[in-house]
Chains A and B, each alone.
Chain A
């Protein structure tokens, strides 16, 4: 297959792929690399289900072309747990039942991790504003906010 050759680092591994000019990073992750942890909700930047980190910045992978990340470092939900050890946020999402269908969950986890790395001690308002780019149709958000607050406590140690 012809296409644009791209080399990147994804969750610490060097990854090379070929993609078409109009393919998004989300398409590449899901359809070419079979990393389906990153979800597609809207495809237009509104829901945050496709959130990933590109070079240390939280972005919607549906609004990034696969070709744009040549030479970039990418982090996805697949890299969040350390083997069988869940990240504190993942653990707290389970404990607080902060998910139902789960489509929004990978995006919330990636965005919440970025939030806590930038602000280890956020107020409830800061959490709600910080996660405003992530939509959830099931939980009503409250349990998600509680899980993030609890994870923040735990991560502070």
Chain B
């Protein structure tokens, strides 16, 4: 196996494009190294992107935030401006693993690992985040919900990597939140999870919303019917019930010892309701 640490994006793309055999991007390594050790993968080339200029930064841009692909999740929690604008995204990223894992893991890696239970992904999807993809061709921006195509699979082509995740400016009277259910209190994989982002009008009525569920289908799902159920409401009980029903319908979960289908369908709705209430309060609604 060959280890490379390019310093420019162009070199990183070149290494990934021209490699013979299996090339893998290395960000925090908290999935990659575990899979190597378990002999699930046997890379020929590892391209460590942590020395690529600019990828280690969270930039405040005219449009919002750009989170470089090498920024560890611990740093997101320390970024006050990001936390203020997107508390749900930051709380999701900071649920990944332990303090030790946080010191290394990235949201781009969480996304590209393509686990249905990845914690930061439902929050990013709810937030309408976009992935900036660099590759041999033109740079492209893809909505986060379009990146993962199946468990363990992404739409990235050979030679491509995610350079950054972009979050817009949070509109006035908006809030986001993320919740997951795990059997323990920390260090566990989500059995069901929900991310909600919403914007209120000046009367406290939900004007727009995005609801995303994790761990209840082969990929994270954006549930448009769940958002529709709460748009035009102040999250009255009836609206929340409709939302939970829409969530249950959108589930296509596995049935395992950690959670039955029935359990996951029910809990995803409950989590979405609770996350919606938190997001609503964060948006200034009462």
Contact = CB atoms under 8 A, between A and B. Distances in A.
A65 B33 contact: yes
Interface stretch (B97-105, B150-158, B263-271): B97-105
Interface string A18-41: 000110100000000000000000
Contacts of A114: 99
Nearest to B46: A21
Contact of B29 (A43, A48, A63, A131): A63
B163 interface: no
Contact of A133 (B26, B72, B185, B187): B187
B30 A63 contact: yes
Interface residues of A, number: 31
Given A59-B100, A64-B104, A21 B34 contact: no
Interface string B167-207: 00000000000000000011100000000000000000000
A68 B101 contact: no
A67 interface: yes
Nearest to B184: A132
Given A68-B48, A133-B98, A63 B36 contact: no
B33 A59 contact: no
Given A21-B2, A21-B46, A70-B5, A64 B29 contact: yes
Contacts of A130: 99
A94 interface: no
Interface in B1-32: 1-3, 5, 26, 28-30
A155 interface: no
Name the residue among A60, A63, A64, A115 with the largest chain B CB count within 10 angstroms.
A63
Interface of B: 1-3, 5, 26, 28-30, 33-34, 36-38, 46, 48, 50, 72, 74, 97-101, 103-104, 185-187
10 contacts: A21-B3, A24-B33, A44-B37, A54-B103, A58-B100, A62-B33, A63-B30, A63-B33, A65-B46, A68-B48
